[in-house]
Structure 1
Amino acid sequence: MIKNIFLLPSKNLTLTIPLVLLTGFMVGLQVDTSAFKQYVLPVSILMIYPTMIGFTLGEVLRLTNKRLLYISLAINFLFIPSLAYLLGNLFLQQQPGLFAGLAVAALLPTSNMTIAFTMFAGGNVAAAIQMTVLSLITGSLLAPWYLLLMVGKYIPVNVLEVLQTLSLVVLLPLVLGILTYRLLLKKYTVQEFQKKFKPYLPAACAWGAIYIIFTSISTNSHKIVSNGHVIVVALLVQLLFYAVNYLGVIKISRSFFKREDGITLVYSTALRNLSISIGLAATAFGADAALMVSLAFLIQGQAAAWYLKLIERHPVVGDCCRAGCQLK
């Protein structure tokens, strides 16, 4: 019974997130939940830590399939931040907190969903693992400077504070995750780890996300009531962000990569690390930024599932064109 309750949120994210948003909104109208904000940073660290268990230093340092890696890095740190900057300037200039949330999510690519969906779709899982870790580390190093350029004129950006926060919510869990995995492998085989521990890690992360999403929406409840149109605009911006992202990357994947690598490229660029993003947004930029990332939770999982169904029904999606294959 307890096991089923623990696993329930991670197995039903598309239902869980809207329920948490609605519950947080209703509670926030009746109760002052601002005290919850002081625990956002430690909860963020505890939320990210389980997602890092299972990585090894070899996966981080092993540079294979360099062409795929370089193009994914270019998309993640040139195309997607530019898209977020354009959308933010067009629609969110009057809401700098929301703009900051969009920018944070744009700068922290890939998640465990990247690896999972790549595996489900028959993509290059080894490349997905490497790109997940490398993109996350690269994003952590670049994010403070990108944020300063993207939203610095709209909202104060303390580069050192952002670096410190990223160190706590990314690097510390990564180191702890690698050490934990090493300790576990001294007692269990990789297969035993996958069976006994791996299924519970996303569930632990999901409960942390629930706390942060609840806190961000409940502390914004009164603002949402008085500025409901702002939330509608924010949601439309997120929809547009993901739509352009997917369409652009799918076009590139079909033109220059074989099916397996093309799938990996899409999932390693279209998906953002929302767990880390919401932790960073909440701690560095406040409830408005966290609310913007919360809205992305409503879209990202559904979009990834839709792409999976698309390539299952139409296998040509993800296949390279003749010209692309010849380039190989």
Structure 2
Amino acid sequence: MKILEALGTIAGKYFAFWVIAIALIAFIAPTPFLALGSYITILLGVVMFGIGLTLKPVDFKIVLTNPLPVFVGVGAQFIIMPLVAFGLALLLKLPPELAAGLVLLGSVPGGTASNVMVYLAKGNLALSVAMTSLSTLLAPVITPLLLLLLAGQWLPVDPVSMFKSILQVIIIPIALGFIVQKVLPKAVEKSISVVPLISVAAILIIVSAVTAANAGNVASSGLIVFIAVFLHNGIGLLLGYFTAVLLGLNENDRRAISLEVGMQNSGLGVALATAHFSPLAALPSVWGAIWHNISGPILATIWSKKPTNLENTEPELSRDKDLTLVGKHQD
């Protein structure tokens, strides 16, 4: 068990490296990975089940005690990122499938890798976890509606079908994980250390499957998609931060909202794009899985060296152990 826990720590710490490596391998030799495409939905469900195993009621406490930053952050996430994606798709004149895929990446909820980045950046961890959890719970309704409004001009969108898909791959697995945690707490406590390794492995398989299916498209459209994802992420981080500034929130909240707004659940984007659009539409989310786990650590490192104005950090520090488990379920 200790060996698996150590492997999980290594896999989580160098997640961006592993994603880039598996993407390169799948791009150079796609054939062995093509058959994995049919397992994308199941694998994402496994990742979400792992999150459910670590989810705690305290994650939502801040929604009741200090709701303003949470609602501001989640509102900014579901307004800024979809609209920025829509604008970039028009500005860069992306082909229909890539345009819809970029809007999809902007319309999915926050990814849990952002929780790790917020902690490292000395931001408000409780706010970050609450934003991730709340945006995920809202996703079955908000994500399909955003796609219908913004991506419908490029590709047909079936919001009811997408609603069902998000329930199946996100909400139900998380709920099952939460139930198992409550019913079998001792068993979960003993095995929880291997969950990060399983989650990272699942995401790597998803990335390899989509990259293999898009090997030809990466060669022809990879650069423009990367530019779009790079700009989308950067603008999201910037606007998320200044939204919090305009509303007078403190520096800890600003950092949390910035990283939450800028980093999406790329795994969900891949699964939804593959199921409802095409493998090509999943390409922006694949790049997102790679780039978000590069830009996030860079920004977190810069911020970690700068003091914040929060005097009492004990509530966040007390969640260090939980963060180790939750945060390693990379998006």
Q: Summarize the alignment of residues 177-192 of structure 1 with structure 2, pairs less than 5 Å apart.
A: 177-185=177-185, 187=186
Q: How does 1:1-328 map to 2 (within 5 A)?
A: 3=4, 4-5=6-7, 8-28=10-30, 31=31, 33-57=33-57, 59-60=59-60, 62-94=63-95, 96-185=96-185, 187=186, 193=189, 196-225=190-219, 227=220, 230-255=221-246, 256-315=248-307
Cα distance in 2, alignment partners of residues 5 and 309 from structure 1 = 23
Q: Tell me the CA shift for residue 314 of structure 1.
A: 2.9
CA distance in 1, matches of 2:58, 2:135: 15
Between stretches 56-65 and 158-167, larger displacement belongs to 56-65
Q: Distance in 2 between matches of 1:33 and 1:20?
A: 10
1:283–1:306 distance in 2 versus 1, CA, 3 Å: same
Report if aligned partners of 1:105, 1:272 keep a CA contact under 8 Å in 2. Answer: yes
Q: Residue type matched to 1:216 in 2?
A: V
Q: By how many angstroms is 1:33 displaced?
A: 4.9
Q: Is the 8 A contact 2:26 2:33 kept in 1?
A: no
Displacement of 1:64: 2.8
TM-score w.r.t. length of structure 2 = 0.84
- In the alignment, which residue of structure 2 is the partner of 1:325? none
In the alignment, the residues of structure 1 paired with residue 193 and residue 299 of structure 2 have an alpha-carbon distance, to the nearest angstrom, of 23
Q: Distance in 2 between matches of 1:224 and 1:262?
A: 35
Question: Number of matched residues?
Answer: 306
CA distance in 2, matches of 1:236, 1:207: 27
Q: Do 1:50 and 1:201's aligned partners in 2 also have CA atoms closer than 8 Å?
A: yes
Is the Cα contact below 8 Å between 2:102 and 2:285 reproduced in 1?
A: yes
Aligned Cα RMSD in Å?
A: 2.4
Give the C-alpha shift of residue 246 in structure 1.
1.4
Once residues 200 and 79 of structure 2 are traced to their aligned partners in structure 1, the CA distance between those partners, rounded to angstroms, is 29
Q: Give the partner amino acid of 1:73.
A: V
Question: By how many angstroms is 1:245 displaced?
Answer: 1.2
Identity of aligned residues (%): 18
C-alpha separation in 1, matches of 2:213 and 2:66:
45
Structure 2 unaligned segments of length 5 or more: list them.
311-331
- For each residue in 1:69-93, what CA deviation from the matched residue of structure 2 results, as whole angstroms up to 9, or x when unmatched? 2211221111221111101122244
Q: Tell me: CA distance 1:32–1:267, structure 2 relative to 1, closer, same or farther (3 Å).
A: closer
Give the direction of change, closer, same or farther, for the CA distance of 1:176–1:92 in structure 2 (3 Å limit): farther
Unaligned runs of 5+ in 1: 320-328
In the superposition, relative to structure 1, how do residues 313 and 184 fare at CA in structure 2: closer, same or farther (>3 Å)?
same
CA gap of 1:222–1:93, structure 2 versus 1, over 3 A, is closer
Q: What is the CA-CA distance between 1:198 and the residue it aligns to?
A: 4.6
Output the CA distance in 1 between the equivalents of 2:46 and 2:55.
Answer: 16
C-alpha displacement at 1:5, in angstroms? Answer: 4.8
Amino acid at match of 1:87: L
TM-aligned CA deviation for residue 181 of structure 1 = 1.8
CA distance, structure 2, for counterparts of residue 205 and residue 239 of structure 1: 25
Q: Distance in 2 between matches of 1:269 and 1:216?
A: 24
Runs of 4+ deviating beyond 6 Å: none
Q: CA deviation at 1:19?
A: 0.9
Of structures 1 and 2, the larger Rg is shown by: 1
Render the CA deviation track for 1:169-203: whole Å, top value 9, x for unaligned. Answer: 11111211211221343x37xxx94xx55543332
Matched with 1:326 is none
